[in-house]
Amino acid sequence: MPSVWAPEFSCTDIICCVLFIVVILGYMAVGILAWLYGDPRHVLYPRNSTGMFCGIGLNKAQPSVFYFDILKCVTSINIMAATLNGLQCPTTQVCVEKCPDVFWALNPIAYLPNAKPQDYFNQSLCVPSFDLARTTLVSIIYLLEVNSANYTAGCVPDVTALENIPNDFANTWGLPSSINDTVNGIRNAKGDIVNSFKAKEIGVRIFEDFASSWQWIIAALVIAMVVSFLFLLLLRFIAPVMVWVLIFGVLAVGAYGIYHCWWEYDNYRKSTVSITDIGFTTDFKVYLQVKETWLAFLIILSVVEGILLLTLIFLRTRILIAIALIQESSKAVSHMMSTLFYPLITFVLLVVCVAYWGITALYLATSGIPVYKVVALNSTQDNCGQISSNETCDPQTFYNSTDYLWCRSARCIFIKYNNEGLLQRNLFNLQIYNGVAFLWCVNFVIAMGQCSLAGAFASYYWALNKPSDIPTFPLSQAFIRTIRYHVGSLAFGALILTLIQIIRIILEYLDHKTRAAQNPCSRFLMCCLKCCFWCLEKFIKFLNRNAYIMIAVYGKNFCVSAKNAFMLLMRNIVRVVVLDKVTDLLLFFGKMLVVGGVGVLAFFFFSGRIRLPSSNFRTEMLNYYWMPIIVVVVGAYLIAHGFFSVYSMCVDTLFLCFLEDLERHDGTMQKPYYMSKNLMKILKKKNRGPKNGEGKD
């Protein structure tokens, strides 16, 4: 009589395995090319007018960029967007250590014949090639800086300080004629560029909050992990009570709803106002004041309550089976504690995939040499109209040369990255490859985790004498089997899911681009397509999950495993529905218990309602007390989801093994049942063999 589960495994879906390996090698090649030709400094650091980066190299001590005339940023879009493929601020820019924080101007009244530029100007605010000591003040120069704030890497005016601009600034040469125009001009200039800078101020404050409270955030997350862990272990003992309490709780809520609807209906029964007298109105409270509304609610709730009661009566045996499987799952997890921490491996691998995709996309986007072109800010000045839109320049030598002295408004502006090379001409295709390979890798990592966990839990179920027949290190063995034999099958299932996700992304893109031109019919068609592919993705995820379980149990290829799993579930569709809903109800309650409990505790602590006498932490130390609360709630949900996803995988695996056990075995010595005694008792089955062959718990 067999006592240990030992199926024979062999490599499956070899063609898809080879294809996946080729794609991974190609993905690595794309990453190497991007790393060789890309330069993320173009995105991470600002540049001055000479093309040098601020914050690194020679300008390491000057991390911010200062705009000479920020008002020109207002019209930069109109100046260049039509003729050039770029969007820059066409004014001189210099790297500075600190943004100016005062109002300052030199106007005709302040003009002195013997004035020296270094007495009025700061050398750090000039281009490196400009020496104030060798310069004579021969014309009126102005500088207006409205309490500059340093947002990420750029100096932009602080709008909150505009009301403090001196009145005589309205008469400064080169500025609008009234103070209101000056204020509005600077505000408009700031609006065009501040969105890319302003995030740092909020980000710094949030980072300060995190730095002040990270110990308590970690403590709250540890509490969430402990509560999730204890909840899963206690399900072995409290699952029956919790399931029946939740079921009767739902019935009690429905019964109270019926009573309340009857009470409201009885109160309005003598009213002469009917729903036909009200007609249609957007004030829905009016409908709650007529008896027909409450009568409709009463009928609907009564029907739902009746259906639930009949379901409970006729499906009570299947509910008992679901409870027994949940208890057995808790027992399996307690025998293989390492499975609870496997989501950490999946998380790390997903982080690697996301990081590789993001870095590759960044390097690809910045591959190619930056292209600078000569731009005349005022084409009507002198002979500036003669400048061609195709004239390139080098910003590091442009402002020291005499080539464009005849056009004082000429500037050397970054336009785009060179796209004339073979790599640059195929950047779009490489970005598409990067995205597709990323989705395939992510789906493969998830599939690998599901198959490994399924193999571990299957080894528990198919051990006749538990726990003595459970293999040593079941999770490690299952992981090794998955990597050794089933990479092709997992890649096959992940590829199918990836193709559907790509179609969904394309539909979303088309919907976004054509939304303004869509008529009601096309919008309806697009909505139907999106809905259908959303449902298809959910079905494929469900099918893949069960196929991976069958792959882990029997070692067959993906198509055979998916077919066998689907047919097995269809033959037991009622049991599937009952188990799925009971498990969902129980795990949903568990998640709400963990997230809600830890979230409420975090709210009372970080809002100052709970104070620890021995702690130096105070709510006043936080800029936004809701930041650590959000982090704790999101972290608690992710922790609970990680623990409960393992438990859900255990339930699904044991359920499929249970169905296979029922169909393949009959309780004889040659074909004994592997299910627990509790399940055999519910189903009124037993093993007809020696005492040591009766499926010990």
Write the pLDDT tens digit of every residue in 514-533: 888 878 888 899 999 999 99
591 — pLDDT class (breaks 50, 70, 90): confident
Residue 397 clears pLDDT 70, i.e. is over it: yes
Q: What is the pLDDT of residues 204-240, one digit of tens each?
A: 666 766 777 778 888 888 888 888 888 877 777 777 8
Q: Which amino acid is at 492?
A: F
Mean pLDDT confidence for 490-495:
95
pLDDT at 144: 42
Question: Of the ranges 95-99, 185-189, 434-438, 607-611, which one carries the lowest mean pLDDT score?
Answer: 185-189
Shared domain for 332 and 380, answered yes or no, is no
Residue 110 clears pLDDT 60, i.e. is over it: no
Residue at 73 is within a domain = yes
Strand arrangement of the beta sheet that strand 154-156 belongs to:
93-96, 64-67, 154-156, 149-151
Range among 535-549, 642-656, 672-686 with highest mean pLDDT value: 535-549
Q: What is the pLDDT of residues 621-642, one digit of tens each?
A: 666 677 788 888 888 888 888 8
pLDDT at 385: 66
Strand partners, 93: 67
Shared domain for 498 and 387, answered yes or no, is no
Shared domain for 520 and 539, answered yes or no, is yes
Shared domain for 424 and 554, answered yes or no, is yes
Residue at 194 is within a domain = no
Strand partners, 411: 375
Shared domain for 268 and 300, answered yes or no, is yes
Mean pLDDT confidence for 573-597:
82
Q: Which residues contact 205 (CB under 8 A, 6 or more apart)?
A: 623, 624
Of 403, 418, 433, the residue at which a domain comes to its end is: 418
Question: Of the ranges 148-157, 271-280, 607-616, 659-668, which one carries the lowest mean pLDDT score?
Answer: 148-157
**Of 252 and 70, which is predicted with more confidence?**
252
Domain span at 398:
370-418
Q: b/e for 150-167, b at 16 or more Cβ within 10 A? A: bbbbbbbbbbeebeebee
Per DSSP, the residues of 639-677 read HHHHHHHHHHHHHHHHHHHHHHHHHH--SSSSS---S-H
Shared domain for 428 and 388, answered yes or no, is no
Question: Of the ranges 203-207, 234-238, 395-399, 562-566, which one carries the lowest mean pLDDT score?
Answer: 203-207
**C-alpha to C-alpha distances, 528 to 60, 458, 496, nearest whole angstrom:** 55, 39, 21
Q: Count of H helices and E strands in the chain?
A: 20, 6
Residue at 211 is within a domain = no
Residue at 639 is within a domain = no
**C-alpha to C-alpha distances, 594 to 55, 246, 326, 527, 600, nearest whole angstrom:** 45, 17, 19, 36, 10
Q: How many domains does the chain have?
A: 4
178 — pLDDT class (breaks 50, 70, 90): low
Shared domain for 474 and 492, answered yes or no, is yes
pLDDT at 561: 92
Residue at 666 is within a domain = no
C-alpha R_g of the chain:
35
133 — pLDDT class (breaks 50, 70, 90): low
Shared domain for 414 and 436, answered yes or no, is no
Instruction: Look up residue 447 and give its two tokens.
Output: 């599939």
Cα separation of the two ends of the chain: 18
Residue at 28 is within a domain = yes
Shared domain for 19 and 120, answered yes or no, is no
Mean pLDDT confidence for 41-49:
74
Shared domain for 299 and 272, answered yes or no, is yes
pLDDT at 507: 92
Q: Residue 441 CB: number of other CB atoms within 10 A?
A: 24
Per DSSP, the residues of 533-560 read HHHHHHHHHHHHHHHHHHHHHH---HHH
Distance between CA atoms of 353 and 356, rounded to whole angstroms? 5
Distance between CA atoms of 523 and 509, rounded to whole angstroms? 14
Distance between CA atoms of 122 and 98, rounded to whole angstroms? 12
Q: Which residues contact 468 (CB under 8 A, 6 or more apart)?
A: none
pLDDT at 470: 80
Of 175, 204, 219, the residue at which a domain comes to its end is: 175
Of 157, 175, 193, the residue at which a domain comes to its end is: 175
Shared domain for 63 and 81, answered yes or no, is yes
- Give the dihedral sign, CA 67/71/77/78: negative
Identify whether the C-beta of residue 428 lies closer than 8 Å to the C-beta of residue 627.
no
Q: In 3-state terms, what secondary structure has residue 133?
A: helix
Identify whether the C-beta of residue 65 lies closer than 8 Å to the C-beta of residue 91.
no
Residue at 598 is within a domain = no
Residue 395 clears pLDDT 90, i.e. is over it: no
Distance between CA atoms of 485 and 397, rounded to whole angstroms? 61
Shared domain for 443 and 489, answered yes or no, is yes
Question: Of the ranges 100-109, 140-149, 321-330, which one carries the lowest mean pLDDT score?
Answer: 140-149
Residue at 192 is within a domain = no
Mean pLDDT confidence for 79-101:
59
Average pLDDT, the chain: 76
